[in-house]
Amino acid sequence: MSRRTMRVTTAVAALAVATALSGCGTSPGTAASYQGEKVTTEQVQDAVTDITKEAPSSNFDGTSAAVFMVLGPQMEQIAKKYGVYSSIDAAKAAFKTVKDPSQSAIRTVQGSMHFSNLRESQQGGPALQKLFKDADVKLNPRYGTWKKGEGPVSQTGNWIKQVAPQEQAR
């Protein structure tokens, strides 16, 4: 095989892999989106890294980070309405071990606080349920599946699209 053929074959294989890896309903690099709010896979990874460093036994996952961040603005509005709002300072204070947590981690913790506070609130609970029932979040398959009316319904599976052998040979 000549060097030129080898380079072309390598380029085609790389393009096939890149296409396969981006085979999801969100744009490449997007973990979740909802009503103009976008969360990147990098933001999710940063949040999970910092939260896991802070609480190693928490089993905190990317699905939770993506959902808490992308629905954060709506949960914040509801939390303010029902008097169960948690400030950015409260979210930062949750980090004792991680000295300089990422903005993504702080945002995720604040979303988690709003979720917990609303879930425990008599008035806020129904509003939170309505948000999850009505929201149509676009979730990258890497982070599970979002089912309108239910929320995240499954954990990550094999989110990488399989490339047929005949496509790889091209």
Task: For residue 34, list its beta bridge partners.
Answer: 37
CA 106 from chain center: how many Å? 14
pLDDT in tens, 69-115: 999 999 999 999 999 999 999 999 999 999 999 999 999 999 999 99
- In this prediction, residue 155 carries a pLDDT of 55
Q: Model pTM?
A: 0.75
pLDDT in tens, 102-160: 999 999 999 999 999 999 999 999 999 999 999 999 999 999 999 988 888 865 454 44
pLDDT in tens, 25-42: 456 699 999 999 999 999
C-alpha 97/C-alpha 135 separation (Å) is 34
Q: What is the DSSP letter of 88?
A: H
- In this prediction, residue 35 carries a pLDDT of 94
Structural domain boundaries of the chain? 29-161
pLDDT in tens, 42-59: 999 999 999 999 999 999
- In this prediction, residue 162 carries a pLDDT of 52
Alpha-helical regions (H) of 28-123: 41-54, 62-70, 72-81, 88-93, 103-120
Tokens of 20: 């396969």
- In this prediction, residue 6 carries a pLDDT of 36
Would you say how long the chain is, in residues? 170
